[in-house]
Amino acid sequence: MPDDRFLLTISGRDRPGLAGELFGAVTAVTSEITDIGQITIRGHLVLCIEVQLHSSATRGELAEAIARTSIDADDSLSIEISSSTERVEAEGRRLLVTLVSRVIEPGSLGAVFSTIAACGGDVERIVRLADRPVQAYELLVRGSHPEHLRTELGQVAVTESLDIAVQRAGLHRRAKRLIVMDADSTLLKGEVIDKLAARLGIEERVAAITEAAMAGDLDFAEALAERVSLLAGLAVAEIEGVAAELELMPGARTLLRTLQRLGYLTAVVSGGFTQVIAPLLAELGIDHLAANELEVVDGVATGGLVGPIIDRQAKAEALIRFAAEEGVPVSQVVAVGDGANDIDMLQVAGLGIAFNARPIVREAADTALSVPYLDAVLFMLGISRQEIDAADQDG
């Protein structure tokens, strides 16, 4: 192809009117602005503009046009003009790589960038999403095969103790409009059934069964029936006491508040119990709930359940049902969970996020978060801490 496209790179101290002056100067020799990008960090500007020259214009004329501006005379700015060639074959393969950790060390960033390059990718854009309570960056990558990059970066995630997500770039990402969460150890601290067992003095016994079920070592439905049977004789007053003492996971209110402001619908699908979690979820404005119901007779739990069991398969079915009721494609649903009974739900969703999950769940999900803050889910959706704080100030 003709060498008539050039990349202008201006870096240095930012000042008002700089871009306007530059565009005005190159108008006479260019037929089209084919690409543009800018970033400013603490007053330092990097502005990149790709231009298509008129058929009769030359690189020398482009340089002369820029030389007549005040930009050329500004010692605090540097200007570079380089030949630009298209990589059409990679245009359709833009990926978003999200990095999250308490602290992201330079060496870890080096490992990520080296791996992207080894997979044939170029990083086109870097955006800092958060600097508290975790650090998060989003990279726009072009040219790498998604599954290959996901596999290779998965190894980097392990060696560098990073949470790394690889997603296809595009509008579909912002279109996700339903988030479905597990309750116990995801939205809520701890396991509700263990808290109920504590009221009967059998917490350790029940917690051991819970751990095995969540790790996938026991069939969830059988483990649930066994644990519920041990709750026989628990008074309603004790159940209500546990409900009143529930604690949200750090960042849960921020996550829900931000998503609701953005128009997201929210749902909780839980292997826990409606009598315990429903009051809190109503306060939080959760739109949908599917959970088990304890059978209660004469104010006392019988050790049985009422209605169908919300197990692994039922969780996925509830997600699909809620999406259909709201007219949201399943591909635009985000699911978040931590236990083996969440796997089907995570896999059927457009984006499945394992949150502080067991290894079996992390392997099944699209991505995983190991930081103890639920609002880190927002960074996987490309929502920055700055946007979250601005919304809180406006709201």
Cβ 111 vs Cβ 159: under 8 Å: yes
Q: CA 167, 168, 172: angle at the middle one, nearest 5?
A: 110
Is 14 known to be catalytic?
Answer: no
For residue 249, the 8-state DSSP code is P
**In the numeric block, which tokens belong to residue 215?**
């790790």
Is 184 known to be catalytic?
Answer: yes
Instruction: Given the residues 14, 163, 182, 338, select the one marked as catalytic.
Output: 182
Higher pLDDT, 101 or 331: 101
**In the numeric block, which tokens belong to residue 78?**
């540097």
| pLDDT at site 124 | 86
Q: For residue 133, say if its preceding peptide bond is cis, omega within 30 degrees of 0.
A: yes
| pLDDT at site 53 | 92
Q: Domains in the chain, start-ordered, CATH in brackets? A: 5-86 (3.30.70.260), 89-169 (3.30.70.260), 178-394 (3.40.50.1000)
Instruction: Given the residues 74, 131, 163, 184, select the one marked as catalytic.
Output: 184
- Per-residue pLDDT reduced to its tens digit, 270-325: 999 999 999 999 999 999 999 999 999 999 999 999 999 999 999 999 999 999 99
Whether 393 has a pLDDT exceeding 80, the answer reads no
- Per-residue pLDDT reduced to its tens digit, 149-172: 999 999 999 999 999 999 988 766
Average pLDDT value over all residues in the chain:
91
| pLDDT at site 172 | 62
Would the pTM count as exceeding 0.75? yes
| pLDDT at site 87 | 44
